[in-house]
Structure 1
């Protein structure tokens, strides 16, 4: 069987869709379908149950998936290690990112890395469930490096390099009853409607953990994938928000610090296996150097 067939298999299993898998791989859907058909013919068993609504792994497919991921990762690692030569690093790094990283100047940082190591291909992917999706894909071997906004204790065996540490702040409509306070107690907002990021984003997890520890619950009435647009929804009167202090601006809103010391840490993380790849180590050094400069 060919490595590309295994890549199709892993992508379809992860996306539960041939269409989304093709988009993820920058391939034509018919090519992905043909690759899966060829794999199943070689195995003499089906790895997916297909219907008009969804694609699910068969029992055999579920058993083969981790093996396929290991085979792909092994080949990637072999190529990366073999690519370290006098002519410079080569190979491919699969990097997961979340949205709203304009403050980080990620293009500038990666541009510096590319100028130093032009033989390394960077494959960037965004995950709809934010940091938790990236951590899951790192552990499954689908990514080599990830930028995540999770607390260190939530990363387990993934060694983080913290590149930003910002307080969480309250964003309120200008005419809100608490807008005149110099600091906001998060518990005082528990009964308010909230504007927030989708589940899985680090700042949302931090807020919900804080409230849960105090046996409080809240209502999220609007979920937006772009942190920069949160103040617009707050200013329109749809709710309040608690987000990282990243120079928030917006008409009709006020920003207040919280009494609780809630932090949002942006880290670059990788598995121990990926850290043995020279290209990954070089990328981590570039990001860490930027952290030290700032």
Structure 2
């Protein structure tokens, strides 16, 4: 028995006295674990490998990446610009998993006409 109860009060037994601090510690640990898990979904983290052409006009990559970093400081951004192999090299790096995202240049129309096959 952990406690004795009557119409007027509840009193811990000797076993209850021994268990009470351990029960409080267990509850505190469970709350801390719950809070830690809840924080995981609130803050982005990890690394994103980006690839882009060195001469992309009209896009301020430095500004965009700076803004992203300000909003998500736990995310590490790794930027690789295309060397002499251009978009083809970035596409290869993307397909083999060296990059997570690539901004490429496409020749011709990027999407087929409606109903046309690629």
Q: TM-score, normalised by structure 1?
A: 0.23
- CA-atom RMSD in angstroms: 2.2
1:143 correspondence with 2:107: no
Q: Which residue of 1 aligns with 2:62?
A: 107
1:109 Cα deviation from its structure 2 partner: 1.1
Cross-structure match for 1:95: 50
- Residue 152 of structure 1: CA displacement? 2.5
> Which of 107, 110, 118 is 1:152 aligned to?
110
Equivalent residue for 1:205?
none
1:46-125 correspondence runs (5 A):
85-125=40-80
Listed one character per residue, the Cα deviations across residues 115-144 of structure 1 (whole Å, up to 9, x for unaligned) are 111110000112221111111111111110
Unaligned runs of 5+ in 2: 1-36, 112-118
State whether structure 2 residue 88 is matched by structure 1 residue 132: yes
- Partners of 1:144 and 1:86 lie apart in 2 by 20
Q: What secondary structure sits across from 2:49 in the alignment?
A: strand
Alpha-carbon distance in structure 1 between the residues aligned to 2:41 and 2:102: 28
Cα distance in 2 for partners of 1:101, 1:114 equals 21
Deviating runs (4+, > 2 A) in structure 1? none
Q: Which has the larger radius of gyration?
A: 2
User: SS of 1:152's equivalent?
Assistant: coil
Number of matched pairs: 71
Higher RCO structure, 1 or 2 (CA under 8 Å, sep 6+): 2
What is the distance in 2 between the residues matched to 1:152 and 1:102?
A: 18
C-alpha distance in 2 between matches for 1:98 and 1:130: 6
**Structure 2 CA distance for aligned equivalents of residues 115 and 102 of structure 1:** 23
Q: TM-score, normalised by structure 2?
A: 0.53
Secondary structure in 2 aligned to 1:101? coil
Structure 1 gap ranges (5+): 1-81, 154-294
Task: Tell me the distance in 2 between the aligned counterparts of 1:127 and 1:108.
Answer: 19
